[in-house]
Amino acid sequence: MKLVVMHYLRSLRERDELDAILPDLLAESGFEVLTRPRRGTRQAGVDVAAVGPDPDRNGTRSLFLFTIKSGDLTREHWNVGQQAVRPSLDEVLDDYIPNRIPPHFADLPVVICVCMGGEMREDIRAQWSGYCLRNEKANIHFAEWNGNHLSDLILSGMLRAELIESENRGLFQKALAMLDQPDVSYRHFRQLLNAIFIKPKNHTERTRQLRKAYLCLWILFVWARDAENLEAAYRVSELVLLRSWAHCDPTRLSKGAICEERLGHFDQVLKLHLIIAHLLLVEKIGPFADKRYALSMAVNSRYTVDIHIALFETLGRFSLHGLWLDALSTGENEAFAREMNEAADKALNIAIGMLNANPVLVAPIRDDFTIELALFMHLADKRGRLSNVADYIRSMSDQLCHALRVRRHYPTPTTDYRDVLAHPRDRSDSYFEEHTRAGILYTFVLAWLAIIGDQERAEQLRSTLLELTPHMTHQVWIPDARTDEVFWGGGSRSWGVGARPPSQ
């Protein structure tokens, strides 16, 4: 297990990766974290500051100032380049210690710590030792935290025996080993999360569970990135995000330190999810999205249904990614808000490129693809781009009318793969009525036709439905006061197609 963790640490980059997990690791190990890395602010050589026991001096309470370096520390990284270590250490001595230490920590011994995911190479060891000897004083000490030391902290703190022993340890290792089979990897990781998120004794234990899940996600992501297969990492990040929110929702927590800590943790989980989404969606899929039939061919299946499922899922992912970025664009930091705005527009542009290059997206074969379509249209509306997607809704309306008339390629409410693959089995009245007995897609298209002002097509679709499917129940899902309880409290009651949900 230690080899797994050390490989993970060595692969972490400095910005937004190693510096993202270090504060949680310190907090889990009994440190009080004072500052976290921030973009756009001068840090005077200190990436993370924390107060805690110094294991090299009998546990004396000390102020730790961490300078973080990714991978191995080599001669090239010591004194050359923008991220060189020695200039950062000089800044700590010349600026941070004299000017930036809070008054109530001024009397504490200071430990300047070089933290790296890998190890310090032998060709730099003499220079490091000489630097420490020249600058060490009675109240200023130096320390080296390499990948081996960090692994020990992780395994003794955030990944204690109850997680990595026995069958739970096996689940984690299987999730890593099966990254080339995303469904299998996802299943093992989901079981691992179930083992992590058992009923806690107190808030402290719940926070520890959240940190464990976050760190396990980080490890799986780094392994997936090295394997150049991010599908499992993306799906697992969505799951960790969902499982974490139930315990970080400020409406479920009393205001105070615990609430602030949980919100800060959720922010880190969300950042990691967005990193994974960007690598998979924008960098890996994005360049091919507007190439004619490129994504359809990449599904590598002779069944149209497989192409439908894959492309609508991808459309939903791009749309959700864009909505997250749009929500983050409302922050007070103008530079960050501008960056998020540009990223949200890019996600929408890629999604629109998908629609133009893959005509199959005009004809949803399953009624529940309305979910992905709703995310896409909501993103277009939020970004003020409805005029760019209006023709897509018009084309879908025309396709639905034609499909209902010829009784081919109309959406079915079933989600069973074999049933969808064989749909439509025949054109009989009984089969047609069975597979058009209820739906949410038609109401969705009618609503958006009204929003874009195409009354002619709205009336055409309405009259077609009245003529050909008078038996259909048109449904709209509306959240109510019990929605959160059912979503996050594990409500077991299910509502089948045609049944009446709590709000309709």
Q: What is the pLDDT of residue 377?
A: 97
Q: Which two tokens stand for residue 132?
A: 């420490």
User: Contact 460/397 with Cβ under 8 angstroms?
Assistant: yes
Q: Please determine, for residue 91, whether its predicted confidence score (pLDDT) is greater than 80.
A: yes
Give tens-digit pLDDT for 199-219: 888 888 888 788 888 888 988
Confidence grade of residue 498 (pLDDT, cut at 50, 70, 90): very low
Q: What is the pLDDT of residue 264?
A: 86
Give tens-digit pLDDT for 230-283: 999 999 999 999 999 989 988 888 888 888 888 988 998 999 999 999 999 999
Q: What is the pLDDT of residue 78?
A: 84
Q: Is the torsion defined by CA of 358, 359, 363, 365 positive or negative?
A: negative
Q: CA–CA separation, 23 vs 207, rounded Å?
A: 14
Q: Please determine, for residue 486, whether its predicted confidence score (pLDDT) is greater than 70.
A: yes
Cβ-based neighbours of 104, under 8 Å, separated by 6 or more: none
Q: Is the torsion defined by CA of 288, 294, 296, 298 positive or negative?
A: negative
Q: Please determine, for residue 495, whether its predicted confidence score (pLDDT) is greater than 90.
A: no
- What type of residue is 414? T
Q: What is the pLDDT of residue 357?
A: 96
Interval 7-18 mean pLDDT:
66
Coil/strand/helix, residue 112: strand
Confidence grade of residue 76 (pLDDT, cut at 50, 70, 90): confident
Q: What is the pLDDT of residue 27?
A: 80
For the ranges 175-189, 232-246, 456-470, 482-496, the lowest mean pLDDT is seen at 482-496
User: Contact 394/454 with Cβ under 8 angstroms?
Assistant: yes
Higher pLDDT, 312 or 197: 312
Interval 72-100 mean pLDDT:
84
Q: Which CATH architecture is the domain 2-157 placed in?
A: 3-Layer(aba) Sandwich (3.40)
Q: Please determine, for residue 442, whether its predicted confidence score (pLDDT) is greater than 80.
A: yes
What Cα–Cα distance (Å) separates residue 278 from each residue in 233, 298, 343, 441? 12, 19, 9, 29
Q: What is the pLDDT of residue 458?
A: 96
Q: What is the pLDDT of residue 36?
A: 78
Nearest residue to 213 (alpha-carbon basis) of 261, 259, 272, 280:
272
Q: What is the pLDDT of residue 485?
A: 74
Position of tokens 């976050």?
A: 214
Higher pLDDT, 378 or 149: 378
pTM of the model: 0.76
Nearest-10 crossing angle of helices 257-277, 231-248:
160
Give tens-digit pLDDT for 287-346: 999 999 999 999 999 899 999 999 999 999 999 999 999 999 987 788 888 999 999 999
Confidence grade of residue 483 (pLDDT, cut at 50, 70, 90): confident
Q: CA–CA separation, 48 vs 18, rounded Å?
A: 11
Interval 14-27 mean pLDDT:
74
User: Contact 32/77 with Cβ under 8 angstroms?
Assistant: no
Q: Please determine, for residue 7, whether its predicted confidence score (pLDDT) is greater than 80.
A: no
Q: What is the pLDDT of residue 65?
A: 93
Interval 339-363 mean pLDDT:
95
Please state the domain extents for the chain. Answer: 2-157, 158-287
Q: What is the pLDDT of residue 223?
A: 86
Higher pLDDT, 31 or 384: 384
Confidence grade of residue 407 (pLDDT, cut at 50, 70, 90): very high
Give tens-digit pLDDT for 128-184: 899 999 999 888 999 998 888 888 777 665 555 444 555 677 888 899 899 999 999
Higher pLDDT, 13 or 382: 382
